Amino acid sequence: MSIEQISSRQLGRNTKCRLCQAGSTISFNWQYALKNSKSDLPKIKNLYVNPQKLKTGTLYQCKSCGAHWYLDADKQLMNFVQEEKLDVISRWSETNLKLKAGHILALNNIGETPPDLYGNGSKCRETPCQVKTKNGDLFECAIVTIQSHAPFEEWREYKLASEIEEISESAYALPLDVRLATTQADEIRMGFAPTIVELSNGERSILNLTTNFLKINGISTSESKVCSERIKTSNMPPIYQAAEKVVYFVADPSDLEINASNKALNEDPKKPSLNGF
């Protein structure tokens, strides 16, 4: 059974505009709003103006408050866009962001982190890695995200794939089997989907939800192992509190990516590729 997303809201945030509900609403189902005028979603008729066609999707403004909203290419979700994201969205739309063959090979060798059980992450192909940029900056905790939609999510720091000089394994990226396990973890309560791992020093820790990186002084992240023991809520290991800064390098899908991924699958059918399983 599929679940239709109606809207996403941020608890504790005040609505800045009573018409478009900017500030409290993150996104809403455009088609649902079109068909259900009596819903509590923004009344969209003639509200969104100044359409700007992007590489994919369209950027609008609320005619009342001027807030920016992004409608995806499928015209399914309307997403609130913060002002500080407008520059990266503009550069994303104007730039060819297809990855080079060598970069794709490096990502395939690392292995992407798939969507979780509930479909979160299904619109992106994401691989944790280390990135060195053309201007010499080094990002030890980076994720290359291959996606068709604009980089609008406010909780992510985005850079463009055109800035990438070199991709390599990150010392802080969890092994592929650990990352896969975190994507398969069931929620045992709202927002808590635990995976127990054994660290290189023999101690145990809980990873909550999909986890790509682990950065703890004195711990070799690559030696982390999944523990098969069941979660006992009365006596749980400590929950890992991620503090590392993650930077997302956004790239366009391409035929080259498909070909490279298929080749990687043929060589190792058990290893996920950037283009599916």
Please report, in tens digits, the pLDDT of each residue of the chain (277 residues total).
334 456 566 544 678 899 999 988 999 999 888 888 767 777 677 899 999 999 999 999 999 999 999 999 999 999 999 999 999 999 999 999 999 999 999 999 999 999 999 999 999 999 999 999 999 999 999 999 999 999 999 999 999 999 999 999 999 999 999 999 999 999 999 999 999 999 999 999 999 999 999 999 999 999 999 998 877 777 889 999 998 999 999 999 987 665 554 544 445 544 444 444 3
Contact 51, 42 (CB under 8 A): no
CA 256 to chain centre: 22
The reported pLDDT for the residue numbered 13 is 67
Contact 9, 26 (CB under 8 A): yes
Listing from the earlier edge strand, what are the strands of the sheet with 225-226?
A: 204-208, 194-198, 225-226
Helix (H, G, I), strand (E, B) or coil at 94: helix
Tell me the C-alpha distance between 149 and 71, whole Å.
9
Distances (CA, A) of 9 to 5, 30, 80, 112, 135: 12, 15, 10, 29, 38
Tell me the C-alpha distance between 179 and 111, whole Å.
10
Tell me the C-alpha distance between 19 and 58, whole Å.
20
User: Helices 101-110 & 255-267, crossing angle to 10 degrees?
Assistant: 40
In total, the chain counts a number of residues equal to: 277
Residue ranges of the domains in the chain? 7-81, 101-172+245-267, 176-226
**What stretches of the chain show up as alpha helix (H) in DSSP?**
30-35, 86-94, 101-110, 176-183, 255-267
Among 59, 6, 14, which residue's Cα sits nearest to residue 33? 6
The reported pLDDT for the residue numbered 54 is 98
Contact 64, 86 (CB under 8 A): no
The reported pLDDT for the residue numbered 66 is 97
Tell me the C-alpha distance between 173 and 107, whole Å.
12
CA 188 to chain centre: 22
Tell me the C-alpha distance between 83 and 59, whole Å.
12
Q: What is the pTM of this model?
A: 0.88
Tokens 């399983």 correspond to what residue? 277
What is the tens place of the pLDDT at every residue in 156-174? 999 999 999 999 999 999 9
**Cα four-point dihedral sign 202, 206, 212, 214:** negative
Tokens matching residue 72: 């995806």
What is the tens place of the pLDDT at every residue in 33-89? 888 876 777 767 789 999 999 999 999 999 999 999 999 999 999 999 999 999 999
Number of neighbouring beta carbons within 10 Å of residue 74: 12
The reported pLDDT for the residue numbered 32 is 87
Number of neighbouring beta carbons within 10 Å of residue 10: 12
